Amino acid sequence: MKLPILIHPDPRLKKMCAPVDDLSDELRTLAGDMLETMYDAPGIGLAAPQVGVLSRLIVLDCIKEEDETPRPMVMFNPEIVAASDEKNVYEEGCLSIPDQFAEIKRPKVVDVRWIGMDGNEHSETFDGLWATCVQHEIDHLNGKLFIDYLGAMKRQLITRKMQKLKREKARA
């Protein structure tokens, strides 16, 4: 089931999310719904707070080519356990901040540990776009948006655009 995506500014997007203690059927269903919502948007990542759930859950799939097999990933309680000194710059966007993009510098390679849908601990090293995406989504779990990396002027400009967009949607 597709879920509504919160648009910035929304106080839920700035909250620290609670760890997932138990993988309930509801959380597994939520993860599936989040993947469906992400693909439909279309996006390459989505965090639970973006759909109004303040739990440490993210989904991602950075396979963009039509001829490549999708690689949907579901991560409960993801954490970065190591990050490279080498940085990468990607133009980032966010489903909660539609049509706004900015170049953000982040570690090029990160090691991430999480609990999978199977209830087991997993870990993987991510590079390039995957590394950027997983860091962006984990930031959401800590109440941080990609625009928080920008200067105050640019961040305020984007926030005003989002407030205007929300007003227009409310009228429609």
Spatial separation of the C-alpha atoms in residues 98 and 106, rounded to whole Å? 21
For the chain, the C-alpha Rg in angstroms (whole number) is 16
Judge whether 137 counts as a catalytic residue. yes
Spatial separation of the C-alpha atoms in residues 165 and 167, rounded to whole Å? 5
- The catalytic position among 36, 68, 86, 137 is 137
Which residues 6+ apart lie within 8 Å of 50 measured at CB?
Answer: 5, 6, 13, 95, 96, 140
C-alpha dist (Å) from residue 146 to 13, 20, 59, 159 = 11, 24, 17, 12
**CB neighbours of residue 22 within 10 Å:** 7
Which residues 6+ apart lie within 8 Å of 23 measured at CB?
Answer: 76, 115, 117, 119
The residues carrying an active-site annotation are 137
